[in-house]
Amino acid sequence: MYSFDMTSEQKMLVETVRRFAEKNLRTVYREAEESKHVPQAVVQMGWEIGLLPGAIDAQFGGYGEYSALTSALYLEELAWGDLGITLHLLTPNLFALPVAQFGNDKQKEQYLAQFCDEKFPKATAALVEPVIQFDPAELKTTAVKEGDTFVINGKKTYVPLAKDAELFLVYADEGGVTQAYIVPGNTPGIKLGKRVKLMGMQAVEMYEVEFDNVVVPKGNRLGGLKGIRIQKMLTLSRITLAALAVGQARAAYDYAVNYAKNRVAFGEPIAHRQSIAFMLANMRIELEGTRLMVWEAAYKFDTGEDATKAAVLAKLYADKMVLEVTDGAVQVLGGHGYIREHPVELWLRNGRGFATLDGNVIG
Amino acid sequence: MSIEFKLPEAIEKQVRGVQIVAENAMRPDSRRLDDNEHERPTRYVAMMLPQMQEMERANINAAKARAAAKQQTALAQKTNGHGGVAVMDAPPAEAPKQSTANLLLVSIIEMLSWGDAGIYLCIPGGGLGGAAIQAVGTAEQVERFLTRYTHGGPKWGAMAMTEPQAGSDTGNIQTTATFDAATNEWVLNGQKIFCTSGKLALEESDGLVVVWATVDKKAGRSGMKPFVVEAGTPGVIIAKVEEKLGIRASDTAAIIFDNARIPADNVLGDAEVKTGEATKGFKGAMKTFDTTRPIVAASAIGIGRAALEFTRDMLAKEGVRMEYGKPRWKLTSVQADLLDMEAQLRAAWLLTLKATALLDAREENKLESSMAKAKAGRAVSLVTQKAVELLGPLGYSTEFLVEKWMRDAKINDIYEGTGQINTLIVAREILGYTRNELK
């Protein structure tokens, strides 16, 4: 059937995350963006919701089962709250979810338990490289097998929370195929570079990291001999990033609707004019359409169908939509939209980012 | 309940059957019926008839079941009120099974329009007139008017709303209905235009047209009522059949009502003119649109899919393939266009399915049906225009059907509410505005 109603568990989860986003993200988002720092208390509160353990099997210490659809639902709510803080909060996912998806039993047993703990785990992933033409399926970073080890060499960027990371999941090219390697943070040869300054989502600390002859045991290759399937991972990445885009766009849309109903010009609210009202209507239409595309791709992923095409289309569409909607929100607010007193300028900066982000599994 | 994106197998099977009709009784006739504007798609009509008659039977049975359930509820409430005894002991009314009637309908129409959108519109059955009768008519009226579509030769139904001076401004219609107490009849006077299948319904079969007329011009919108005018009614004249940009296989009629007399109980719903806030008549018309807009959206998407598939296949022969999963800097602009076309159609289709799911659940879907219609009309216009462009000199030539699909597609951004009217409805809904606050 085609049906669009969440399960009661999903509704409860969405409600919880929405309340958290409203109470804990919306209250600090500007301070976090300007100071380029996420308050520790927010991180701890966010972690305590238990989103990640909810996506990990009981066998490995969690209490749930991964569902891309459920992820899409909560990601929208978090991104509605604040994108930068969300990326910080979900950084451990970048390590844990690929391990849960592609790891062998030994790796799952060894690593997943710490992600079901009370403490925010210090783990991250290094995928993106500092190039214009980035393709996760054709990385410049290499992993070469030498005896019982892999030797990793290459430069990475956009590595969130790299400074204190105790575990890295490093993606590298191994004979023309992208694979992932578990690299403990204290391994010799990991060189922390400068903090990356981005156009938006500045609350999350991201770093350049160089891997200079970093050696790991061959057992650290994710998935063992079988390895990972990069295309499947990219599919999941596209679904989850598109879900964040929907949340970011919804924030901008909600704000613009509210502003347009209250801002008076020429003696009446500006929303009384078709030029404004039609912009808002089109924002809503595109927002809803994108959300359904994200849900469809997630549903297909969860039911084991090939979700590649649906995910590609959803991400592509979401990238455009989020830029249009956040830009529209700035436009609706006019001069006030350009001022940092209102959040829409930040959301436009965030919105521009999605088309450049690809590859990581965020939720 | 849970979120699901899966077409039920039974519907999928029926859609595959419709595809055979599309390939064999539509596509081969597409060009000929576009060139010969007022010719009828007889092959298609004959093939569709049995299935449409079956569907009309189901519609009548569903309306009867709903009426019976309603009566039972009313009776239970009455018992409760009189006796003061709770009816908790009474057996609970059986929970209505989730209907898939509208899902089936939009799925079929998407496929028929993939075949040919002009030919599709000549589908035998109640059409928009039938939809109006089902939306606002009583169970008795549904049975009386729609039974004709369940047997015998092909018959058509139509709806007449638009007038020369009243297009999107439907509240401004001037056709009058005056009640003649002496004969217990309504007398209709006025002129309607742009009535899809009007000639098929009134002149070429024993069909009917649902005509919107005002019983009291002073009452404004609340004076508007839908009247059923059957074929053969004296004083009903087909004045003209339009010549159009596209969907040329479909007839678009102008109808004159010159003292056309119809029985008193041919008014759908309640005849009493409500004044003030109760604008029941007008709301009836608008409620019909909530059910028909997803259908138009589905038709739009069918044309769009035809254009996309054809363009993709032709380009593939030239070595240009659709690529999923490459980063965008590795795509050519043609590949990026193809992906964008597909995404546009998918967004529109999912919006349509959501509006349809609400309809099947008998829930309010005004916002969703207008979103689907606005999006689909715009998307299919862009997609078909792009298809002509991507196929170059041959795309623009009548060698292929894409130029026709582009002409056909445009109607979907116009009828059942233009893109602008539907955007206006969406805007009012999301802002919580009345028509006076947002004009």
Q: What is the CATH number of the domain that holds A78?
A: 1.10.540.10
Residues of B in contact with A271 (CB under 8 A): 431, 433, 438
Please tell me which of the candidates B7, B350, B430 has its beta carbon nearest to residue A281: B430
Partner A contacted by B431 (CB < 8 A): yes
Say which residues have a Cβ less than 8 Å from residue B134's Cβ, sequence separation at least 6.
Answer: B59, B63, B126, B142, B146, B291
Residue A258 lies in a domain: yes
B200 pLDDT band, cuts 50/70/90, is very high
The structural architecture, per CATH, of the domain B280-431 is Up-down Bundle (1.20)
Examine the residue annotation and report whether B416 is marked as an active-site residue of this protein: yes
Is 50 exceeded by the pLDDT of residue A128? yes
Please tell me which of the candidates B5, B343, B348 has its beta carbon nearest to residue A316: B343
Q: Is A151 exposed, middle or buried (0-12, 13-18, 19+ CB in 10 A)?
A: middle
Residues of B in contact with A281 (CB under 8 A): 374, 423-424, 426-427, 430
Residue A290 lies in a domain: yes
The pLDDT value given to residue B275: 41
Q: What is the pLDDT of residues B147-164, one digit of tens each?
A: 999 999 999 999 999 999
- Strands B208-214 and B157-160, bridge-based pairing: parallel
Longest dimension (CA), chain B: 79
Which residue of chain B is at minimal alpha-carbon distance from A231? B325
Residue A306 lies in a domain: yes
Q: At the fourth CATH level, which superfamily is domain B9-266?
A: Butyryl-CoA Dehydrogenase, subunit A, domain 2 (2.40.110.10)
The pLDDT value given to residue B85: 39
State whether A264 and A305 are in the same domain. Answer: yes
Note whether B5 contacts A133, CB cutoff 8 Å. no
Name the residue ranges covered by the structural domains of chain B: 9-266, 280-431
Residues of A in contact with B327 (CB under 8 A): 133-136, 358
Note whether B5 contacts A289, CB cutoff 8 Å. no
Which residue of chain B is at minimal alpha-carbon distance from A258? B431
Averaged over B129-141, what is the pLDDT? 89
Q: What is the pLDDT of residues B204-247, one digit of tens each?
A: 999 999 999 999 888 878 888 999 999 999 999 999 999 999 99
Note whether A277 contacts B424, CB cutoff 8 Å. yes
Q: What is the pLDDT of residues A167-209, one digit of tens each?
A: 999 999 999 999 999 999 999 999 999 999 999 999 999 999 9
State whether A236 and A348 are in the same domain. Answer: yes
CA distance B46 to chain A (A): 31
Q: What percent of chain B has pLDDT over 90?
A: 76
- In the DSSP assignment, the letter for residue A220 is G
The pLDDT value given to residue B90: 40
Note whether A317 contacts B427, CB cutoff 8 Å. no
State whether A29 and A112 are in the same domain. Answer: yes
CA distance B428 to chain A (A): 8
Note whether A274 contacts B327, CB cutoff 8 Å. no
Match 């800097």 to its residue by tokens.
Answer: B329
Note whether B371 contacts A1, CB cutoff 8 Å. no
Q: How far apart (Å, rounded) are the C-alpha atoms in residues B78 and B87?
A: 10
Please tell me which of the candidates A5, A308, A313 has its beta carbon nearest to residue B346: A313
CATH code of the domain in which A199 resides:
2.40.110.10
Note whether A281 contacts B100, CB cutoff 8 Å. no
Which of B104, B350, B360, B437 to mutate: most A Cβ within 10 Å? B350
Averaged over B74-79, what is the pLDDT? 60
Please tell me which of the candidates A134, A135, A313 has its beta carbon nearest to residue B343: A313
State whether A88 and A185 are in the same domain. Answer: no
Please tell me which of the candidates B325, B348, B438 has its beta carbon nearest to residue A312: B325
- In the DSSP assignment, the letter for residue B329 is G
The pLDDT value given to residue B218: 84
Given the residues B4, B364, B416, B437, the one annotated as active site: B416
State whether A131 and A236 are in the same domain. Answer: no
Residue A39 lies in a domain: yes
Q: What percent of chain B has pLDDT over 70?
A: 91
The pLDDT value given to residue B96: 53
Those of residues 289-348 in B touching chain A at CB distance below 8 A are: 324-330, 339-340, 342-344, 346-348
CATH code of the domain in which A235 resides:
1.20.140.10
A276 in Cβ contact with A270 (< 8 Å): yes
Residue A362 lies in a domain: no
Note if the pTM is more than 0.80.
Answer: yes
Residue A137 lies in a domain: yes
Mean pLDDT, all residues of chain A: 96
State whether A130 and A203 are in the same domain. Answer: yes
B281 pLDDT band, cuts 50/70/90, is low
Name the β-bridge partners of B434. none
Cα B138 → chain centroid: 20
State whether A349 and A234 are in the same domain. Answer: yes
State whether A112 and A30 are in the same domain. Answer: yes
The pLDDT value given to residue B74: 67
Q: How many domains does one find in chain A?
A: 3
State whether A190 and A252 are in the same domain. Answer: no
Those of residues 347-376 in B touching chain A at CB distance below 8 A are: 347-348, 350-351, 353-354, 356-357, 371, 374-375
Residues of A in contact with B350 (CB under 8 A): 289, 292-293, 296
Is 60 exceeded by the pLDDT of residue B423? yes
The pLDDT value given to residue B272: 55
Residues of B in contact with A263 (CB under 8 A): none
Note whether A278 contacts B427, CB cutoff 8 Å. yes
Q: Which domain holds residue A250?
A: 230-356
* Nearest partner of B119 among B202, B210, B200, B239, judged by Cα: B200
Please tell me which of the candidates B350, B427, B431 has its beta carbon nearest to residue A292: B350
> How many other β-carbons are positioned within 10 Å of the β-carbon of residue A267?
6
B125 pLDDT band, cuts 50/70/90, is very high
Averaged over B17-30, what is the pLDDT? 96
